[in-house]
Amino acid sequence: MPSPTTSKRVAMLTLGCARNEVDSEELAGRLTAGGWQLVDDEADVVVVNTCGFVESAKKDSVDTLLAASDSGAKVVAVGCMAERYGAELAESLPEANAVLGFDHYGDLADRLDDVLAGKALESHKPVDRRTLLPITPVKRQEKAQEVQVPGHGWGPRVLRTRLDDAPVAPLKIASGCDRRCSFCAIPSFRGAFVSRHPDEIVAEAMWLAEQGVRELFLVSENSTSYAKDLPRELGALEQLLPRLAGIEGVDRVRVSYLQPAETKPSLVKAIATTPGVADYFDMSFQHSSEAVLRRMRRFGSTESFLALVAQIRELAPQAGIRSNFIVGFPGETEADVAELERFLTEARLDAVGIFGYSDEDGTEAEGLGDKHDADTVAERVSRISALVEELTAQRAEDRVGEEVVVLVEHEEDDETDCTGRAAHQAPEVDGECVITNADGLSVGDLVRCRVDAAEGVDLVVTAIEVLPR
C-alpha cells in the first residue's frame, strides 16, 4: 500500500453521454475523499470512464485507453464498456492495469491504491444487471441500497466533485431502463430502472447551485419513468420540476430523454409551463413507421407522434423538440422510409440525430432477418440526413426576429463574440447562439437576446440585457 507521502495523482477521462459525466464526478468525489489528487496531466493513474453504446464509441474508448497507457501512467478502465465486457476487455487490452465494474465504485480509491502498489486486480465479471433488482418496480428501493448503482444512495451528503466550472451541469434523477427495445443493450449493463429519492436530487441540485451552476440538465436512461418505483406521496417528475426550478441560483432546468409512449399530458404541461423549466422536449422517437417501431419493440406511429408534437406546440409554440432516429433497421422498407420522411417534414423538429443501424452484441435485433447491406444503410442515412439538415435549418430561420434567453458558456478569443445556448438548445447536440455584441458579457451570464440570423441550427443574436441572477 502506498505510504502517506507517496504521490497519488489521478486524471479522469470521460467518454460518452452526460450520465457518464455525472458518474465521473461521483468517482472524483470518492477519490478525493480517499486521498487522491485530481490532475489534468502527469498523473500516476488515469481512470478512463468508457462508453460501450455503439461500435464507434467502443473504438473511441479503446483508443483513449491506449493513449493513456502511452503517457506512462497506470490505466484503469471503468464505465459502461468495462461493465459490459469486463474480463474480455482486460484480456484484449493488456495495456489496462485494471478493468473495474460499477460494483467497484464504492471503494475505487482503495483499488487505485492497489494498482499504484503494483497489485494485480481480478477483472470485473459481467452479469445481466437487470437480475440484481426485483422485477416489480415498487419493490426495488430497499434492495437498491444493496446494489452499487452509480449516482445513487448518497442521502443528504453530496458525494461529487466538479471536473469543470461550466454554468451547466448534468444531474442524475434515475438509472437503468425497463424497456426492451430490440436494438439496445443498455439495460443489460445499466440494470433495471431505479429512481433517486427527490430529496436527494434536490440536495445535490442545491450543492450544484452553490458551485455556480445556473442550468440543471436532468439525465437518466428514461426520465418519463421517474418515480414509478417510489411511494406515490413522493410525487412524480411533474412535482420534482418546480422544486428544482425554485432553488436559489438555478435559472433553468432542462429534462432529457423522454419516451413518447410514456409522456403524459400532465408532464408535457409541467415542462411547457413551469417557470424556470426550459420548454424543451428530448423525445426518443427512433422511427415513425408503425411496422418498424413494432420490430424495435416500441410503440407509436407517425400520427400519434405528430399529435404529441402538436400538443407540445399548443402549450409552448417556441418549444424546442429534438430526437434521434435509426434508419436501415432490419425489415425497413422504402415505404417505411417514406413514412419517416413524412413525419420529419410535418413535425418540424429543432434538432435531429440520424444513425444507421448496426448489430449490437446480445440484442434481439442481432438475430433478426431481412438485414440491409452496409451500402443501403449508408444511402438511407445520407438521404434522411440531407432532409433533416434542410428542415432544421428552416426551423432555425423561423426564429429570426424572436427573443431568446441565452446562457453564456464560452468567451471567444477575440472578445468580440461569445457563445451560449437558448432554452431550445441542449448542451453539445442542438446548436448554439453566437452573441455578436459580447462586450462586458461573462461565462454564466443569462442574457435576453434578439435573433438576427440563422446559420444551420445555430443562431446569430444580439444581446438586449443581462438578466439578474
H-only helix segments in 76-220: 79-85, 87-92, 108-116, 140-144, 186-190, 198-210
Alpha-carbon gap, residue 45 to 18, rounded angstroms: 23
Q: What is the pLDDT of residues 99-132, one digit of tens each?
A: 999 999 999 999 999 999 999 999 999 999 999 8
Alpha-carbon gap, residue 287 to 343, rounded angstroms: 9
- 282-296 burial, b if ≥16 CB within 10 A, otherwise e? bbbbbbbbbbbbebb
Q: Which domains does the chain have, with CATH numbers?
A: 7-125 (3.40.50.12160), 129-396 (3.80.30.20), 400-465 (2.40.50.140)
pTM exceeds cut of 0.85: yes
Q: Which of 88-97, 265-274, 410-419 has the lowest mean pLDDT?
A: 410-419
Question: Is 449 annotated as contributing to ligand binding?
Answer: no
> In this model, does residue 1 exceed pLDDT 70?
no
Residue 391 three-state SS: helix
Q: What is the pLDDT of residue 415?
A: 61
Question: Is 177 annotated as contributing to ligand binding?
Answer: yes
> In this model, does residue 302 exceed pLDDT 90?
yes
Q: Which of 71-75, 255-259, 383-387, 388-392 has the lowest mean pLDDT?
A: 71-75
Cβ atoms 144, 152 nearer than 8 A: yes
Check residue 102 and report its DSSP letter: G
Q: Which amino acid is at 118?
A: G
> In this model, does residue 196 exceed pLDDT 70?
yes
pLDDT (mean) for 312-316: 97
> In this model, does residue 396 exceed pLDDT 50?
yes
> In this model, does residue 177 exceed pLDDT 60?
yes
As given in the structure block, the three cell numbers for residue 49 are 470512464
Cβ atoms 212, 165 nearer than 8 A: yes
Alpha-carbon gap, residue 152 to 221, rounded angstroms: 14
Q: What is the pLDDT of residue 449?
A: 98
Sequential DSSP letters for 241-291: HHHHHTSTT--EEEE--B-GGG--HHHHHHHHHSTTB--EEEB--B---HH
**Four-CA torsion 321, 327, 332, 333, nearest 10 degrees:** 90
pLDDT (mean) for 277-303: 97
- Which pLDDT band holds residue 315 (cuts at 50, 70, 90)? very high
> In this model, does residue 5 exceed pLDDT 60?
no
Q: What is the pLDDT of residues 410-435, one digit of tens each?
A: 987 666 689 999 999 999 888 999 99
Q: What is the pLDDT of residues 321-363, one digit of tens each?
A: 999 999 999 999 999 999 999 999 999 999 999 999 999 989 9
Question: Is 433 annotated as contributing to ligand binding?
Answer: no
Q: What is the pLDDT of residues 128-159, one digit of tens each?
A: 999 988 899 988 888 877 888 887 765 567 78
Q: What is the pLDDT of residues 78-91, one digit of tens each?
A: 999 999 999 999 99
> In this model, does residue 292 exceed pLDDT 50?
yes
Which residues are bridge partners to 78 per DSSP? 49
> In this model, does residue 371 exceed pLDDT 90?
yes
- Greater confidence, 447 or 17? 447
Q: What is the pLDDT of residue 229?
A: 93
Q: What is the pLDDT of residue 414?
A: 61
pLDDT (mean) for 445-462: 97
Q: How many CB atoms lie within 10 A of CB 146?
A: 9
Q: What is the pLDDT of residue 3?
A: 47
Q: What is the pLDDT of residue 429?
A: 84
Q: What is the pLDDT of residue 158?
A: 75
pLDDT (mean) for 55-69: 86
On average, the pLDDT of the chain sits at 93
